[in-house]
Amino acid sequence: MNQQTPQLAVSARHFGVLLSPTPRGARLARRLATAHLLAWDMPPRTIETAEQVTAELAANAATHGRLSGRDFLLELRRSEDGRVLRIEVTDTRGDRLPGLNPQLPPPDAESGRGLLLVEVLADRWGVTSGPVPRKTVWAELNLVRAASPLRVNMPN
């Protein structure tokens, strides 16, 4: 871990922080995401989903994207129209891209399910390469759901 305070960038629609590519950094990513989504008054279900997606992407960055002395970047972004939450994790192992069609590991495997969870939980996800040597794994959650049916009170 770099021996300095994490660098934060915060606004009403964007949050970003550099974290160490360690299990501790991955846990901190999840906790910081939760804190900022609560501050943004996101619904509990959105926060729960975003927590899990952030945890999986950060754990992958700490496990597969780790290079000694190089942090990973967690960013949360709300679209201007407020309809989409985008979670991005950027690491410095652009040479190791995850497959976009994750396969179910054998039942006795102890790992290998993270991107399957992301695929199930997120409305969209993908990988963006560059600039060298980086890659960004991102996931988007739609924030606007179909309106509930109109309730009409009928007289008895």
| Residue 112, pLDDT score | 64
Question: How far apart are alpha carbons 33 and 88 in whole angstroms?
Answer: 11
* Residues facing 126 on adjacent strands: 138
Side chain identity, residue 87: I
3-class secondary-structure state, position 22: coil
Question: How far apart are alpha carbons 67 and 92 in whole angstroms?
Answer: 7
Cβ neighbours of 52 (radius 10 Å): 17
pTM beyond 0.85: the answer is: no
Strands 72-78 and 14-19: antiparallel
The tens digit of pLDDT for each residue in 39-56 reads: 999 999 999 999 999 999
The tens digit of pLDDT for each residue in 90-133 reads: 999 888 777 777 777 677 766 667 889 999 999 999 999 988 88
